[in-house]
Amino acid sequence: MADMTDTTNTAALTLLGDEAAALGALHAGISAAYGYPGTPSTEIMEYLQENASDGCRAAWCVNEKTALEAALGTSYAGGRALVTMKHVGLNVASDPFMNGALLGIKGGLVIAVADDPGMHSSQGEQDSRYYAFFAMVPCLEPRSQQEAYDMCREAFDLSERFQVPVMFRLVTRLSHARSGVRPAPPRPRNPLSKAEDKTRWMLLPAHARRNYETLIEKQEELRRWALSHPSNKLEIKGKDAAFAVITSGLGGNYYEENLPSLTAKWGMAPARLHIGAYPLPEDSIRKLCEKAGEVLVIEEGQPLIEERLRGILPQTVRIRGRLRENPPQPRETDRTIPRTGELDPDNIRPALGLPPRPSILDTLPPGSPAAVFAGGGVSRPPQLCAGCPHADSYEALNRAVAALNGGTGESPGPRVSVNADIGCYSLGAAPPYAAIESIVCMGASVGMARGAADAGIPYAFAVIGDSTFIHSGITPLIDAVQANTPMTVIILDNSTVAMTGCQRTAFPSGGLRNLILGTGLDPAHYLELEALKQRLEENAARLKTEAEYRGLSVVVFRRECLEAARRRRRSDPPKPDCG
């Protein structure tokens, strides 16, 4: 890899994968980092904010799109910039991401995206590598904390070399695991120097067509770069060439954990290619499979490599991975890898032809408390914190909804729709509240409530947090204001981004009133309520009244998150006694 300074005499640091990536960016000489909190990427920015030196800005932004656009500005000025987000956040940033590939990137620009296989804290398993292929930009995928440091550092050189953004892909298990990392000496920041050719940064059709042709011309050089990258390691000599294995990311670790068993069973390890840098090293893939009748793909995430093999290899080669085989095999002979969820050393064993490994369950008496606990038989669903203000808000909403559902009048079909959003208040879907009916994506609650009202539901509610509202709830609210849609938007204002660790909101809660009224909302139907149990009856009655208004209402339930308040009290210096 580029910039691989000798680190043999450097003391090792114990870092999360996220922290290793952040340190790699700092040591690459970044001038700025921007992002929006989202598990499992949050710790990248938190590490940067704690460790960035003077002159390097590390800031949370309103959303992922604004973060990437700020980073483009840093790059245009010649500085190196890192952008952080989770996989679904890349959907929000996709416009500047795709268009950024057509620009003449000046300062290195790296987009660190943390995917969440297994959906530990996400609504989808989407694989960000598809976006890198779609935009035709390089992607680096580390398999260890040391690689996370090295590759993130290298990615800035790569971006400047090819004048394109570079994707840096992490996954949950790497982001949130710790290991030793030996850093290299930090590099200085780039001097400010704007792009010489301004037309490379102006995507008017005439310029964009030329820039797109330039991007296409870069693809062959990018393929040659990927072919020679050290992380794309081809192992053929002394291996079984009839059975080939392709691994990527953490899939390489899980394969190697099973390698002794595999070698013991077959007497020889399969030929293998590990991929850590994209575009795909197609020549290495063809060389790997020259004599192979079968190839197994072990990749964390969706079957991106596996799907593309079908356009690279002859049809005579049997390709196995996460996709169902065609024709489907009987269950007893099906040797595909599970289609969903995270990989691990155990769930890839059947695909390698290996028997299950003994587990702790095998040593415990069936049905014993220890067996039930070890087998996952005891589970505690996630819950709102004790004393959470959202609990009082949901109780008021449920009472208002019950009253509205029991009202009189001609209304065929459902009378109430409660559309919610992404945040810790999503837990209002679970008992004892069971207060919300939909959770789709950031900001969707407001748009869906409008659509439900337009469809004829008399009482349509949107439930959205203060940070999510600033992230992507304002634009659908403006739509509803212009139409004066008969719906009620409930903003749960706890003054923090609670779900991802109590980061500060990008917009102070006290400014919500002016912001919302600035959209043109009738001030008579903007309401602020304290989310307190002693005000439950009053809040429910006032919420019901606003729902009955045949136009748009916005109701803000306000009370600070208890966990955020505790953290604030710990971090705030004691105030002087003025008594």
- Three-state SS string over 420-443 comes to CCCCHHHHHHCCCCCCCCECCCCC
Is residue 19 domain-shared with residue 59, that is, in the same domain?
yes
* Cβ–Cβ < 8 Å for 473, 464: yes
- Structural domain includes residue 369: no
Given a cut of 50, is residue 517 above it in pLDDT? yes
Is residue 194 domain-shared with residue 332, that is, in the same domain?
no
- pTM of the prediction? 0.85
* Cβ–Cβ < 8 Å for 25, 152: yes
Given a cut of 90, is residue 579 above it in pLDDT? no
More confident position, 406 or 267: 267
Is residue 90 domain-shared with residue 146, that is, in the same domain?
yes
Structure tokens at 202: 């102006």
Residue with tokens 């060389």: 287
Given a cut of 90, is residue 179 above it in pLDDT? yes
More confident position, 18 or 429: 18
Is residue 105 domain-shared with residue 160, that is, in the same domain?
yes
Average pLDDT over residues 507-535: 91
Q: Percentage helix, strand, coil, to 5, in the chain?
A: 40, 20, 40
Q: Around Cβ 502, how many Cβ atoms within 10 Å?
A: 18
Is residue 548 domain-shared with residue 450, that is, in the same domain?
yes
pLDDT band at 310 (very low <50, low <70, confident <90, very high): confident
Domain range holding 162?
13-228
pLDDT of residue 334: 72
- Structural domain includes residue 571: no
pLDDT of residue 391: 85
Is residue 224 domain-shared with residue 237, that is, in the same domain?
no
Helix ranges restricted to H, 244-366? 250-266, 282-288, 304-309
Is residue 81 domain-shared with residue 175, that is, in the same domain?
yes
pLDDT band at 578 (very low <50, low <70, confident <90, very high): very low
Given a cut of 60, is residue 2 above it in pLDDT? no
| Tens of pLDDT, residues 218-240 | 999 999 999 999 999 999 999 99
* Cβ–Cβ < 8 Å for 171, 249: yes
Is residue 177 domain-shared with residue 244, that is, in the same domain?
no
- Structural domain includes residue 61: yes
DSSP code at position 322: S
Could you give the number of structural domains in the chain?
Answer: 3
Is residue 459 domain-shared with residue 438, that is, in the same domain?
yes
pLDDT of residue 47: 97
Q: Which of 357, 378, 408 is the last residue of a domain?
A: 357
pLDDT of residue 363: 62
Mean confidence (pLDDT) of the chain: 89
- Structural domain includes residue 377: no
| Tens of pLDDT, residues 317-326 | 999 999 987 6
DSSP string for 231-263:
TSEEE-TTSEEEEEEEEETHHHHHHHHHHHHHH
Is residue 299 domain-shared with residue 397, that is, in the same domain?
no
- Structural domain includes residue 1: no
- Structural domain includes residue 573: no
Average pLDDT over residues 519-533: 94
pLDDT of residue 390: 86
pLDDT of residue 574: 41
Is residue 308 domain-shared with residue 168, that is, in the same domain?
no
pLDDT of residue 419: 92
C-alpha span between 288 and 271 (Å, rounded):
7
C-alpha span between 81 and 548 (Å, rounded):
49
Q: Which of 202, 228, 254 is the last residue of a domain?
A: 228
Q: Which of 174, 202, 228 is the last residue of a domain?
A: 228
Residue with tokens 């879907």: 429
- Structural domain includes residue 374: no
- Structural domain includes residue 36: yes
Given a cut of 60, is residue 373 above it in pLDDT? no
pLDDT of residue 380: 60
Is residue 246 domain-shared with residue 349, that is, in the same domain?
yes
Burial of 193 (0-12, 13-18, 19+ CB in 10 A): exposed
